[in-house]
Structure 1
Amino acid sequence: MYERILVATDGSELSDLAVNSAIDLALLTNAELVAVRVVHHYPTGYFEGSLLLTQMEVKRMQSEADAEAQRVVDAVKAKAEARGVRSTLAVVMKSELVAEAIIEAARVHKSELIVMASHGRRGLKRLLMGSETLHVLTHSHTPVLVLR
């Protein structure tokens, strides 16, 4: 049914649900799994003027974010391999456009399904902040499984 499944994760409890479901699907269909985490190029607030940081602090924060993202996808890979998924790839992407990066990763890795969690925001906060999941769902040509 599926040859390759992409799971987008941010390491949160909610995205763990998506990871577990993606692993189950990969096992069920003998598919490969691609775990993706998208990190921003710059620390939150850096260009909004809310943080005054030196270049060294920015680089340190970026390195920490990159290392944490790699840790998250490596943990997904280890979990999938321990459960018997035949092949797992751990991918960290840098982009300010999270949803677009997920869509691009699915295209590049020839994934036939994207699995991701809903964001959990409700009401005004959702309206103001938008939804990466909704963007992927409405703009991807790859089918998307959203878990709540």
Structure 2
Amino acid sequence: MYERILVATDGSELSEQAVTAAIDLALLTQSELFAVKVSHHHAASYFEGSLLLSQMEVSRLRDEADAESQRVVDAVKGKADSRGVKRTTGIVMRAEGVSEAIIEAARVHHCDLIVMASHGRRGIKRLLMGSETLHVLTHSHTPVLVLR
């Protein structure tokens, strides 16, 4: 059925539900699991409030984001390994666009399913906050399983 499953996580409680479901599915189908966390990188000269951040401060913030992202995928890998998933790979994608990075990771690693969570926002909240899940659904050539 599935040989390579990608699960997108941000470390939140909601995405943990997607991680658990992806692990269960990987066990059921004896699939490899790829845990992806996108380390969101802003443009090098962005504003934090009204203060322009120095390049050194931007680099420090990127390093912190990368370390947190690595911690998240390591936790997923540990959970999957302890449950007996045959092979789990943790991937940190450094990008400005979260949904594009998820789609690219699925393509590069030849995944045949993407598992991710959705907050289920509707109306003005979705318009204002955007939806990475919706973007993945509408732009990915890989099937997507969305959990709420």
Q: Answer yes or no: same fold by TM over 0.5.
A: yes
Alignment partner, residue 79 of structure 2 = 79
Give the alignment of 1:62-77 within 5 angstroms.
Answer: 62-77=62-77
Unaligned runs of 5+ in 1: none
**How well do the aligned residues superpose, as a CA RMSD in angstroms?**
1.7
Pair 1:47 & 2:50 matched: no
Residue 141 of structure 1 is matched in structure 2 by 141
Deviations 1:67-123 (A, max 9, x none): 000000010000000000000000000111111110110010000100000034343
- For 1:29, the equivalent position in structure 2 comes to 29
Q: How many residues align?
A: 147
- Give TM-score scaled by structure 2 length: 0.93
Q: Where does structure 2 lack aligned partners over 5 or more consecutive residues? A: none
Partner amino acid for 1:119?
Answer: H
Q: Give 1:129 deviation, angstroms.
A: 2.3
- In the TM superposition, 1:74-113 aligns within 5 A as 74-113=74-113
Q: Which has the higher strand share?
A: 2
Q: Distance in 2 between matches of 1:134 and 1:120?
A: 10
Identical-pair percentage: 74
What TM-score does the superposition give when structure 1 sets the normalisation length?
0.93
Q: 1:125 deviation in Å?
A: 1.9
Question: Is the Cα contact below 8 Å between 2:115 and 2:144 reproduced in 1?
Answer: yes
Q: Which aligned segments of 4 or more residues in structure 1 are displaced greater than 4 angstroms? A: none
Q: Equivalents in 1 of 2:48, 2:42: separation in Å?
A: 13
